[in-house]
Amino acid sequence: MLAKEHNSVTKYAVNILDKWKQEIIAPEVNNLINEYCTYPDSYFDVNNGGHKKASRYYFETDGIQFHYIPDTQIIDKYRYWNVNDGKLFAGGESENLNWKHAKNGFTYYLSRAVEFIKKNKLKDALAYTGCLLHMLQDSCFGLHSLEGPYGTDLFVLDRLFEYGDDISELPSNILVQEMPESAVICPEYVPLLLGNTIEEAVFMLYSRYVECCLKSRKISFKIVLNHYERKSNKDLYTEMFHGIVELSADVINTILHIAHDKKEHLSNVLLSELEPIDRPWGLGFYRFVTLLKNKALNYEKKLVPLKLIVKNSEMKFKKGMSFGSHSEFKFIYDLPENTYEKFTCYIGIQTEFLNEGNVRIKFINNGNIVFDEIFNKENPSSKVLINNPKKYFEIIGSSPENTRLKTVITLGNPQFIHLE
């Protein structure tokens, strides 16, 4: 993203804040918009003073600047399998470095921004804020959205498209062109409060960041295709611009709320809207789909409502998730502590697959097995209640070999209930 685009995104993010929040940051807001939100780039300006200004706000994990952070590795989740004692098992395992670097960076910059607002040092507070905004804006707009969560390298589209002798037609060159001025439109949006504590805000921000990045990645593909077909990309740029403006506004809004101890009662959080730090890819009957939100597949692979047999009657769910099965699979969420009172859901085998489906499901809360049940025709579903969910919250499953392609698991209304 160009410096002037960082400036524009940050300006509009500020403009949609509540007036009292705008007034708090007013003495330094021009510097936030025009300077601080470019500091991660300025850090490399060793000849013109940019490095000196930006270096005090620099943060890294394992020698990598919090700017373009590592991708989420997913290859070992589907490619590497082996056999031991006649049983199939996953042969590879890798740490989610995207989450590691994001968690460290989000925690650092949110904490420092809040700390310096409380100390009435607005310049430092907004400089730290600007660094965080810059990382998010780069990650969730245009070319760099190809990287990061479940991402790849910048040059992947250049290897997929023919661009002839005109290098301006190279996909990467198309995606770094300046956004059309006509696409810069302020969204109508009420900024979200991501959490009442730093830890909760980090957790929720990660899900928002991944969501925004993945959406922009899809838009970037469409921009390249439209360009080759000589179609207008104005609306696509506006959609992508709105996404990152809204995310930036969420961050500033949350920092100011936490810094001024303005706690609010937050809505319950749907598991299906959260980003796990570990998840499977390529599950049984769902194969490349892996999982669906708020829908399921039937035997004809058509989308149908989430459905479970509960107490001998079919129950439909508007919210939740469904996925196929395998010899083993797991979802892991890194929950904030002292945030949720309980987790509830219905879980079992999607109605259409009851005759032949079979799966064992475990819930593990902070290292302790709190639910362990086998679902089949005789036991189609259960209601789950887990108190005090925190830290590593895991859903682990496995199906016998002869039922893996005949099993679909559904979670209905899976939600974390906030502490009062």
pTM of the model: 0.93
- Running along the chain, 420 residues long, what does each successive block of 10 average in pLDDT? 92 95 96 95 89 94 95 83 77 84 98 97 97 97 94 92 87 91 91 95 97 97 94 95 97 96 87 94 89 95 96 96 93 95 97 95 96 96 96 95 92 95
Reading the block at residue 147, the tokens are: 């990287």
**DSSP conformation letters of 373-420:** EEESSSS-EEEEEEES--EEEEEEEE--GGGGGG-EEEEEEEEEEEP-
Fold of 3-259: P1 Nuclease (1.10.575)
Would 3-259 and 269-418 be classified into the same CATH topology? Answer: no
Q: What is the pLDDT of residue 401?
A: 87
Taking residue 178's Cβ as centre, other Cβ atoms within 10 Å add up to 10
Say how far apart CA 198 and CA 106 lie, in whole Å: 9
Q: Reply yes or no on domain 269-418 having CATH 2.40.30.10.
A: no
* Strand partners of residue 348: 381, 410
Cα 21 from chain centre: 26
Q: With beta carbons less than 8 A apart as the criterion, state whether 305 and 363 touch.
A: no
Taking residue 217's Cβ as centre, other Cβ atoms within 10 Å add up to 22
**DSSP conformation letters of 216-285:** HHHHHHHHHHHHHTT---HHHHHHHHHHHHHHHHHHHHHHHHHHTT---PPPPEEGGGSPPSB---SBGG
Q: With beta carbons less than 8 A apart as the criterion, state whether 258 and 22 touch.
A: no
* CB contact set of 128 (below 8 Å; sequence gap of 6+): 57, 109, 112, 113, 116
Burial class (CB in 10 A: 0-12, 13-18, 19+), 19: exposed
Taking residue 336's Cβ as centre, other Cβ atoms within 10 Å add up to 20
Taking residue 52's Cβ as centre, other Cβ atoms within 10 Å add up to 12
Instruction: Provide the residue ranges of all domains of the chain, joining segments of one domain with +.
Output: 3-259, 269-418
Helix (H) or strand (E) holding 316: strand 313-317
